[in-house]
Structure 1
Amino acid sequence: MPAISTAQCYANAAAFKGRTVVITGAGSGFGRATAIDFAKNGARVVLGDVDAKGMGETVAQIERVHGSNAVVSRHCDVTSWDDQVALFAAGAKAFGSIDIVLPNAGINEIGRFDPREDGDATKLTKPNLKTLDVDLTGVLYTTRIALWYFINDKRSDPGLRAIIFTGSMSTFYGSEGVMYGAAKAGILGIQKGIDKVCRELNVRVGTICPYFSKTAILTSDFVHPVPKLGYAKVEDVVAAFVAAITDTDPKTNFGCYLIPDQWGVYRMNSQGQFVGAEGARRSREEMKALMSKGKL
């Protein structure tokens, strides 16, 4: 039984109505799923991705139900500052404001950090930093631009605003992929670093941390290391995003939402403590031990 139910996650979903949401990596996976769900709940979505075909499919699904006035999209390589600036500008021009930002675009590990596994080990070569560029530098760009829009928002009462990051269980427990693990751990560094400015601006901040989920980031030959856990359900991940953005409890601000298995969402407060009926009895150490043994 999850620590926070789907009904609890969506309890305040009406708050999306009229909000403008920027989502990077919206052409597939969590980006597509959140875009569709947020639009269903009344949000106007601003979508960016390098995958034109995938993003076109996301846009088409939204337009079929909600019309073209609910969505704006642009090609966006998150490693390009100019692409990201243009994405936000397109959203602001179309909808007049930026309210919620999901720096979601990400890729899996590219290359190998171990010199024995990445080319000729007799030659000294630089590591491939592409994963770090997308999964961390791109997130820093998105966050910086979001803060600029929030700081310069001239509305007397801008209402609900949020920056919600896409982390991973690797955010806490590391990864065999050095660059991927470093990037996802770095998300918490960003979250902590923007604490002061976001509290001053009344911006909610959080990180969503799924374990393995059946999205395009998993290759066809992927083998789950702990099969008993199953896969984090995309709908649970989306529900966690909704909760992180709309929860009115200040104690959940700057927290994390973990989806470590097929059984739902666990909420962690800003002090790193699990909260909720089931999560309250779970420490980080216990969570890690249970994951490693496949008993979660």
Structure 2
Amino acid sequence: MTSPTSPTSPASPTGPSSRAVAPVLPQDFTGRTVVVTGAGSGIGRATALAFAARGAGVVVADLDAKAAAETAAFIEANGGAAVTVVGDLGEQDVVDRVVATALDSFHGGTLDVLVNNAGIMDSMSAVADVTDTEWERLLRINLTAPFLLTRAALPHMLDAGRGAIVFTASEAGLRGSAAGAAYTAAKHGIVGLTKSLAVTYRDRGIRANAVAPGGTLTNIRVDLDPAADGPRALGAYMGNVGQPAAADTQADAIVFLASDAARNINGVVLPVDGGWSAV
């Protein structure tokens, strides 16, 4: 009985096959430009640091100027390259600045990876309790802003014949019991947008995928009334969340989906939730 061939070593020339086994491709982004939104903190900051550590030039986009500057400083202190763009990504002029900065700042006018991560949480409100203000704000930040930035980035990716887009969806994009009505609707929209992009542009070198985080240690705020219909009904399901993950756990999954190691993965919504979605 022959021993199994090591996955990182060539097959023995005396065995049944002399074909070498291809090594796993490294997650190397040297020479590539990556845009990360919501990069001032949490999953976005961890993701920006992870790409920079792998050689990417990173555009740190965030609403909070101080937080964005801190992320860029962390990157530069570790020998990486970063620039910041500050503003509300629900506004077209800010979106245009992000894309222009990506094209002008680093490696020969390319925008190789777009990570649509920025988002806010709702107040866990049930449908009957969602105000117009909450609904419109959640949809604008969590769904419209990623759409606008993707639409602006796509022509440049299409011209280059390649590009990877990764969205931060949510466990709330897979079920109806993980957040309030507005957040749930927005994240289901992100799932649909991801799949639509994957189908439409799969033959033109563009890949679109998403992570669906479960409980994660970030500074995202949730202001709620525990006695309201939404939190009262949803509370029964929150015992299944499990142990919250560190932000860099989500960043690792995002980097993988954007990397050449995932070159044949397209249209996937990957739960990164410790098994919550399996319950």
TM-score interval for Structure 1 and Structure 2 normalised by the shorter chain: 0.7 to 0.9
| 1:208 and 2:211 are equivalent in the alignment | yes
Deviations 1:110-136 (A, max 9, x none): 584555576xxxxxx676410111000
CA distance in 2, matches of 1:50, 1:24: 9
| 1:256 and 2:258 are equivalent in the alignment | no
1:30 positional shift: 0.9
Report the more deviating stretch, 192-201 or 27-36: 192-201
1:61 aligned partner? 74
CA distance in 1, matches of 2:127, 2:203: 43
Query: When the two structures are superposed, what TM-score results if normalisation uses the length of structure 1?
Result: 0.74
| 1:87 and 2:89 are equivalent in the alignment | no
1:72 positional shift: 1.3
Deviations 1:55-95 (A, max 9, x none): 1110110111125xx11111131111110111110110112
- Contact 2:214–2:241 (Cα < 8 Å) also in 1: no
- Contact 2:215–2:244 (Cα < 8 Å) also in 1: yes
1:131 aligned partner? 138
1:166 aligned partner? 168
1:144 aligned partner? 151
Alignment of 1:100-111 (within 5 A): 100-109=113-122
Query: When the two structures are superposed, what TM-score results if normalisation uses the length of structure 2?
Result: 0.78
1:239 positional shift: 1.2
| 1:49 and 2:51 are equivalent in the alignment | no
1:235 positional shift: 2.3
CA distance in 1, matches of 2:104, 2:154: 17
CA distance in 2, matches of 1:53, 1:72: 13
Deviations 1:242-268 (A, max 9, x none): 22112545553221221112x8xxxxx
DSSP 3-state at the match of 1:252: coil
The alpha-carbon distance between structure 1 residues 79 and 113, as it changes in their structure 2 partners (threshold 3 A), is farther
| Root mean square deviation of aligned Cα | 2.7
- Contact 1:44–1:71 (Cα < 8 Å) also in 2: yes
1:71 aligned partner? 82
- Contact 2:33–2:111 (Cα < 8 Å) also in 1: yes
1:186 aligned partner? 189
Moved over 6 A (4+): 220-224
Report the more deviating stretch, 164-173 or 102-111: 102-111
CA distance in 2, matches of 1:78, 1:234: 22
Q: Which runs of 5+ in 1 are unaligned?
A: 1-10, 119-124, 264-286, 291-296
- Contact 1:151–1:201 (Cα < 8 Å) also in 2: yes
The alpha-carbon distance between structure 1 residues 18 and 250, as it changes in their structure 2 partners (threshold 3 A), is closer
Q: Which runs of 5+ in 2 are unaligned?
A: 1-23, 227-234
| 1:239 and 2:252 are equivalent in the alignment | yes
Q: Which entry has the higher C-alpha Rg, 1 or 2?
A: 2
DSSP 3-state at the match of 1:189: helix
Alignment of 1:21-60 (within 5 A): 21-60=34-73
Identity %: 32
